[in-house]
Amino acid sequence: MEIVLYLLFGILGAVIPYGLTRELGIEPVKASAFPSLILALGFYFFPQILSEDLNFHLPVVFFGASFVGMVSKKILPYYLEVALAGIIFSMLYLNASSFFNGYGGGLGTPACISVLSIYGLKKVKTLVRFISVKKKSESNS
């Protein structure tokens, strides 16, 4: 159940700032900071809702995933891509965040890796499509 919460907060943390930037034209840094502040205040004033461990980590996951949500729509134009990057961020946070200390911190580096992995998968898909079209045209010649 806890993993589902981490993934959900990763998705929401990425998609909400992305939507605020894209739909309302709010600057990316403000779109990241404002929802993170609201969520953190909620966890601060109502600490009894979840366990102490989740009270600490879920706002951090949301805030870190909001770095993913600051991506340009030119890089990740679809909400689903941003949500997938949020999932990747959550998984990196759960499994490897301590490895990134000294390399941009435990939040910024996994956020960058998350965005780059989705962007890279899109480019690989394009490359595979290009190669298959090229092979078909060469075989037809």
CB atoms within 10 A of CB 136: 10
Predicted confidence (pLDDT) per residue in 40-50, tens digit: 999 999 988 88
Res. 95 pLDDT band, cuts 50 70 90: confident
25: Cβ–Cβ under 8 A, 6 or more apart, which residues? none
Q: Where are the domains of the chain?
A: 2-140
If you search the block for the tokens 């998984």, which residue do you land on?
91
Q: Which residue has the higher pLDDT, 135 or 70?
A: 70
| pLDDT 10s digits, 96-141 | 866 766 666 778 889 999 999 999 999 998 888 888 877 777 777 6
pLDDT higher than 90, residue 75 = yes
| DSSP 8-state secondary structure symbol assigned to residue 73 | T
Which H or E element spans position 79? helix 79-96
Give residue-wise pLDDT tens across range 3-40. 999 999 999 999 999 999 999 999 999 999 999 999 99
